[in-house]
Amino acid sequence: MRGADIELARRCREGEAGAFEELYRAQGGRLFALLVRMMGSPQEAEDLLQEVFLHAYRKIGSFRGDSSLGTWLYRLAVNQCLDHLRGRQARMARTTDSIDEDGAAEPVAAAPALPEAISRIDLERAIAQLPEGYRAAFLLHDVEGLDHHEVAGALGISTGTSKSQVHKARLRLRALLGGSTHGGGR
C-alpha cells in the first residue's frame, strides 16, 4: 500500500496526466467529510478541499512515504482547518483547549446515561460543539477509523496525546448528549 502511495506521489510529482485526479478520487471524499465536520459548512469545506489539494500539488515533492498519502493529506487538511478556524474565531474561549493540551480531568458527576438511541443529528451537533483539537482527533479516530498512530501522524502529536484527546472528546460528547462525564477520578 505504501509502495502504491509512493508511486502515485511520483506520478503526481512528474505531472503525469490523470495522476492528480486519481489522488483526488481516492482521497477527496474522506477529506471532504472531515472538512465538513471540522468547518461546520459544506461550502467552506469545498473551498478548503481546493486549498488542501492545491497545497498538496505544491508540496507533493516533499512526500517521502513515511506515512500513507491519506495520513499526509489529513495532516494538510487539519492544518488548513485549524488555521481557518483560529483565524475566524480569534481564540474564542472554546479554542483554549489546544490540540496539545492535556487539560484538567473531566468533572465527575453521577451520570444519567446516554439515551437508548443516539440520534445522528444530535451526535453531529454535539461533535460541532467540541473544541477543535478534540474534534479533529475524534473525527479521525472514531468517525474515519484511523488508529491512534495514524491520528498522531495526521495531527502532529504523540500517540498518547491522541488517546487522551479522543477519550476527552468522547466524555464531552457523552455529557453533551444527555449524560454526564465520569472517569475523572474520585
Partner 1 sequence: MDCHEHALTLGDLVDGTADPGAARAAAAHLAACAPCRALVDDLARLRLAARTLETPVPPPHAWPRLAAALEAERQRTSRGWLGLGLTPWGWMPAAAALALIVGGLSWVGERLTPDTLPARTIAGPTAAPRGGDGGDPEALRLAETEFTQAIAGLEAATQSASTIDPLAADDLRAGVAAIDAAIGESRAALAQEPANALAQEALLDALRSKVALLQDTVALIDDQRDGPAGLGAPDPRELRQ
Residue 49 burial by CB count (10 A; 0-12/13-18/19+): exposed, middle or buried?
buried
Query: Helix 19-39 and helix 2-13: axis angle, to 10°?
Result: 110
Closest approach of partner 1 to the CB of residue 35, in Å: 9
CB-wise, 100 or 147, nearer to partner 1? 147
DSSP state of 180: -
> 109: Cβ–Cβ under 8 A, 6 or more apart, which residues?
180, 181, 182
Q: Name, in order, each residue with C-beta under 8 angstroms of 31's C-beta and a sequence gap of 6 or more.
A: 49, 52, 73, 74, 77
In sequence order, what are the residues at sequence separation of 6 or more whose Cβ sits closer than 8 angstroms to the Cβ of residue 69? 5, 8, 9, 23, 26, 27, 63
Residues that bind partner 1 (CB under 8 A): 13-15, 20-21, 24-25, 28-30, 32-33, 36-37, 42, 45-47, 49-51, 53-55, 57-58, 60-61, 105, 108, 110-111, 113-114, 118, 120, 123-124, 138, 142-143, 145, 147-148, 163-164, 166-167, 170, 173-174, 177, 179, 182-186
Cell of residue 2, nine digits: 505504501
Residue nearer to partner 1 on the CB measure, 93 or 110: 110
Minimum distance between the CB of residue 40 and partner 1, rounded to whole angstroms? 11
Judged by beta carbon, residue 47 or residue 101, the one nearer partner 1 is 47
Shortest distance (Å) from residue 125 CB to partner 1: 12
* Cβ distance to partner 1 smaller for residue 29 or 156: 29
Question: Cβ of residue 57: shortest distance to partner 1, in angstroms?
Answer: 6
Among residues 93 and 145, whose Cβ is nearest to partner 1? 145
Give the Cα separation of 131 and 54 in Å (integer).
27
Quote the least distance from Cβ 58 to partner 1, whole Å.
6
